[in-house]
């Protein structure tokens, strides 16, 4: 599926893989996020942190009538406040989707798949 944006000059189609890359990049920029996790942790392995090319496996994008809904699967660093990290991920994802792609996210759900001890 793709998000369609109509303008006076024509139609713009934005693929879900592009949205997932923007969401994954936005999430991993936040303090306390170690990386993206797979939404199917049992199949892909619990301890695997996704690389930038695999962000589509850690993001679920659903189209709605007046925007999109996004699920983001992350791994956080041990010792960080999970609620604050999740709130900052939500805010940054919503902002970047609007600023980069012109898409309004109705909801950004953050699912913490694991906690990693950060190396000093």
In the chain, domain spans:
15-116
Q: What pTM value is reported for the model?
A: 0.84
**Integer Cα distance of 77 and 75 in angstroms:** 7
Tens of pLDDT, residue by residue over 10-55, are 988 889 889 999 999 999 999 999 888 887 655 555 556 666 667 7
- 112, exposed or middle or buried, with CB in 10 Å at 0-12, 13-18, 19+? middle
Q: What is the CATH number of domain 15-116?
A: 3.30.70.1350
**What pLDDT was estimated at residue 1?**
63
**pLDDT band per the 50, 70, 90 thresholds, residue 100:** very high
Q: Where are the beta strands (DSSP E) in 16-93?
A: 33-36, 59-64, 67-77
Q: How many residues does the chain have?
A: 120
**What pLDDT was estimated at residue 63?**
87
Sign of CA dihedral 48, 93, 110, 104: negative
């Amino acid at each position: 599926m793709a998000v369609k944006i109509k303008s006076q000059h024509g139609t713009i189609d934005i693929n879900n893989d592009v949205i997932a890359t923007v969401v994954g990049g936005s999430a991993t920029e936040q303090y306390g996020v170690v990386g993206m996790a797979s939404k199917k942790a049992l199949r892909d392995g619990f301890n695997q942190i996704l690389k930038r090319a695999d962000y589509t496996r850690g993001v679920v994008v659903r189209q709605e009538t007046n925007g999109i809904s996004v699920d983001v699967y992350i791994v956080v660093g041990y010792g960080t406040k999970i609620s604050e990290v999740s709130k900052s991920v939500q805010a940054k994802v919503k902002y970047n989707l609007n600023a980069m792609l012109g898409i309004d996210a109705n909801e950004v759900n953050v699912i913490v798949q694991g906690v990693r001890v950060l190396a000093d």
